[in-house]
Structure 1
Amino acid sequence: MAASNWALDKSHSGISFSVRHMMITNVRGNFNEFDATVSADPANLADLEATLTIDVNSISTKDEGRDGHLKSPDFFNAEQFPQITFKKTSIETKGGEDYALTGDLTIAGVTKSVTLNAEISGPAKDPWGNVKLGVAADGVIHRSEFGLTWNAALETGGLLVGDAIKVHIELEFAQAN
């Protein structure tokens, strides 16, 4: 199969995260609006081209007050930086469907190289003859590296919001050409 473009199937895709809250539990959230572009030959992923764009204003943690605070200058500053972006810079096979996917991640105007553990599955035909490709990626980023340092001290010691953010991405693509 030659390199081709793949269109994101949003109805079978999602981006979620979790962060430690009060040092006792995890708060989970997701981004509801995002897009991705991929050009790839599934038989030779060395030349994979991929970008992901996330609308910061689509953040949802099931708490409107918290969501508003996350969009504020204390965190993402969504008015000034409305998008989070990831652009693939390299990919390394780890065997089978497992890869190390490295790219430039930009949050709130700060760009850092990050590596995610990725699983790339397919291609496979769905019951209607469409060729599909799946990408799942997981990793941990540290919000302080992107200038997101707001916090509050707890009376019992420690901080209100953890620094490590666990990221989980599930994307399904349909071959476009």
Structure 2
Amino acid sequence: MVASEASCALDTIQQEMERLPQGTRRLAVQLRLDLAPEWIWSVLTDYDHLDRFIPNLASSRQLWRRGNLVALEQVGTQQFCGLRFSARVQLELNEEPEQGRLAFRMLEGDFRCFQGVWQVGADDTSTWLLYDLTVQGKPGMPIGLIEQRLKEDLASNLRGVQREAQRRSQQP
């Protein structure tokens, strides 16, 4: 997926998934919207409140900050097949506001691999938000089930960021 692709209609989500070896999945989701990139960035970096507007994120809290490096602890929850599933991660984020880039990687947690990037930018037609995630479950995790939930949830997460950014942009 190319983040600068201009052919995408506004307010449309594009999504792709790649199956990598050893149960690893790479998912990329992009949303184009009519909103200044600064509003989206302010939402993405509101670390202690992400759980208020990102669906299925039960908690999010900043552990520390060292310049442009930030550590977060997040817990996500899912309900499927009548069971509640939760996963905890501690992430290290590298903020690059000039590039609109927020890279993250798991320091510890309930996956073998959980890393990626949020990217915010603008071109002549609109602002775009890209979320690119590479995830690998621990042995015994049903990757097919995780894959399906992630595909559904990532679009929902971008919509949550969009709604909060729109709400903030309309406040006096």
TM bin, normalised by shorter chain, reads 0.3 to 0.5
Larger Rg belongs to: 1
What TM-score results when the alignment is normalised by the length of structure 1?
Answer: 0.35
What TM-score results when the alignment is normalised by the length of structure 2?
Answer: 0.36
Q: Which has the higher strand share?
A: 1
Q: Which has the higher helix share?
A: 2
